[in-house]
Amino acid sequence: MGTQITRRSFLARTIGLAGLSIMGHGCQLPEKNPADQPNIVLIMADDLGYGDVGCYGCKDIRTPAIDGLAAEGVRFTTFYSNAPECTPTRTALMTGRYQHRVGGLECALGIGNVGRYDDAIRLRETHDMGLPAGETSIARMLKNAGYATAICGKWHLGYERKFFPDKHGFDYWFGPVGGAVDYFHHDEYTGEPSLYRNSKVIEQEGYLTDLITDEAVKFLGRQSDRPFCLYVPYTSPHTPYLGPNDKRPQSVPQEDYNKGTRETYRAMVERMDEGIARILAALDQRKLAANTLVIFMSDNGANKTGNNAPFSGYKGNLFEGGIRVPCIAKWPGRIPEGVVSDQSCMTMDFSRSVVRAAGARPPRGRTFDGIDIVRHVENQEPTQKRTLFWRARRGERTRKAVRDGDLKYIQLWDGPKMNEYLFDLKGDPAEKNNLLAARDSDAERLKALLADWEQQVKHHR
């Protein structure tokens, strides 16, 4: 049977040893010094696979801008999204905590504001399905520290106005409020217009990826004497599969949303990379790059049109291909150039890093669940063993997983039926060899960790 776990050892594994000193005391961050506050540019791709970027081994998609970030900063090889879908990962990014602490956000919000599992359905019935403003976002924390804040891109954290970005500390926002819109007509397949500027629906001609880039560049052009945080969550290469030259007379119907070729996918990713190049060029032109922390990541793995190699699995599941994704960070003078880090880390780790780097503070009594991964790289610290957790729900399906060191345990529930897996990722990163029968004691130990974590992150909404 599994080994006995004390609360202290559990917390050490869950949040990283670096977090133990702050438990129970709030995050003791350094005093703010405006002269030292870096600008923050956080770029998120949507459904981009691990193997869809040049510096991660992709051969058929050109990504020179993203590859350039890796050459000038750090490329993470063991970075995980907090979830295998959009909404929960974005919840974790905004809060710096496991998304399960909020309630109703363990699954992507359905098109047209549909709840997809029991807790989400319950909250939808009372118009409470979304990220509450009381779950203080990193944008709010940075705004309170004197930052100008903006989101140019996909929100997907609530269709109700009380969940909109301006309620979470963003001074300016532009983009679709939902999870998937036509790239040219900017509506969902229900016909509902989805493109917003500062809480108002707008009509604007253009390819959505380009419009997001345009707005990000314009925001940079308006900055002068204040540090800023610019969040750029592209919708590319999320469905519907439409390249920059694929405009149709009418919006893509629901039945065609998931139809697309690798060639179209390639065009979508390359256009996003061109947009990232424009954002980086704008930083250079305004002489802002030297004091800007740039972070690039994907919100989850790719669908089958994408490439999650060398891992198995796709978006929506908890095999490596669904959650192990590209992530790169560049911070001139602070992060060494050309670093490759195999430190295991998650989306929410960067939330803590951004808040610390900005000299901002979380609310009293609030603690982050992640480690400060940027500081880890800045200080060139050795790789530390960590324990990471996942739980994803949709309908009657529940997927659970825990990674402890190199071992990973997975539970797949379909109603009352459950399948289990145990993998040693060091020798089997593609998860081909299920060790469950041969190492039952390890499985029981990880199962106990998972059950303990579920109690720790249980929400009360």
Query: How does pLDDT run across 355-410, given as a tens digit for each residue?
Result: 999 999 999 989 999 999 999 999 999 999 999 999 999 999 999 999 999 999 99
User: Is there a contact between 85 and 315 (Cβ–Cβ < 8 Å)?
Assistant: yes
Q: Is the pLDDT of residue 322 over 50?
A: yes
Using 50, 70 and 90 to split pLDDT, how confident is the model at 306?
Answer: very high
Question: Which residue is it, tokens 């499985």?
Answer: 443
Do you find a cis peptide bond into 310, omega within 30 degrees of 0? yes
User: Is there a contact between 134 and 103 (Cβ–Cβ < 8 Å)?
Assistant: no
Query: How does pLDDT run across 62-96, given as a tens digit for each residue?
Result: 999 999 999 999 999 999 999 999 999 999 999 99
Using 50, 70 and 90 to split pLDDT, how confident is the model at 161?
Answer: very high
Q: Is the pLDDT of residue 51 over 80?
A: yes
DSSP labels for 129-178?
A: -S--TTS--HHHHHHHTT-EEEEES---S-SSGGGSGGGGT-SEEEEESS
Q: Is the pLDDT of residue 31 over 90?
A: no
Mean pLDDT of 164-178: 98
Angle, helices 7-15 vs 440-456, to 10°: value is 90
User: Is there a contact between 111 and 178 (Cβ–Cβ < 8 Å)?
Assistant: yes
Q: What is the pLDDT at residue 461? A: 81
Mean pLDDT of 274-283: 98
Q: What is the pLDDT at residue 54? A: 98
Query: How does pLDDT run across 280-292, given as a tens digit for each residue?
Result: 999 999 999 999 9
Q: What is the pLDDT at residue 32? A: 47
Q: What is the pLDDT at residue 7? A: 37
Would strands 39-45 and 292-298 be described as parallel, antiparallel, or unpaired?
Answer: parallel
Of 125, 107, 126, nearest in space to 116 by CA: 107
**CA 155, CA 90: separation in Å to the nearest integer?**
8
Question: Which residue is it, tokens 């999204």?
Answer: 81
Which amino acid type is present at position 171? D
Q: Is the pLDDT of residue 333 over 70?
A: yes
Question: Which residue is it, tokens 């029991």?
Answer: 118
Helix/strand/coil for 200:
strand
% of the chain residues with pLDDT over 90: 91
Q: What is the pLDDT at residue 10? A: 38
Mean pLDDT of 428-450: 98
Residue 393 CB neighbours (<10 A) = 20
**CA 416, CA 425: separation in Å to the nearest integer?**
28
Torsion, Cα of 218, 224, 225, 230 (10° steps): 20
* Cα→Cα distances 55→95, 170, 344, 350, Å: 29, 32, 18, 21
Using 50, 70 and 90 to split pLDDT, how confident is the model at 2?
Answer: very low
Using 50, 70 and 90 to split pLDDT, how confident is the model at 25?
Answer: very low
% of the chain residues with pLDDT over 70: 92
In sequence order, the β-bridge partners of residue 424 are 407
Of 171, 104, 101, 102, nearest in space to 143 by CA: 171
Using 50, 70 and 90 to split pLDDT, how confident is the model at 21?
Answer: very low
Using 50, 70 and 90 to split pLDDT, how confident is the model at 36?
Answer: confident
Q: Is the pLDDT of residue 16 over 60?
A: no
Mean pLDDT of 201-213: 98
Give the range among 32-46, 80-94, 216-230, 307-321 with minimum mean pLDDT.
Answer: 32-46
Which amino acid type is present at position 344? S
Q: What is the pLDDT at residue 460? A: 81
For the chain, how many residues are written? Answer: 461
Q: Mind telling me the catalytic residues?
A: 86, 156
User: Is there a contact between 359 and 72 (Cβ–Cβ < 8 Å)?
Assistant: no
**CA 17, CA 19: separation in Å to the nearest integer?**
5
Q: Which tokens in the block code for residue 145?
A: 């520290």
Query: How does pLDDT run across 209-232, given as a tens digit for each residue?
Result: 999 999 999 999 999 889 999 999
User: Is there a contact between 15 and 22 (Cβ–Cβ < 8 Å)?
Assistant: no
**Alpha-carbon Rg for the chain in angstroms:** 21
DSSP labels for 309-363?
A: TTS---TTS-SHHHHB--EEEE-TTTS-TTEEE---EEHHHHHHHHHHHTT--PP
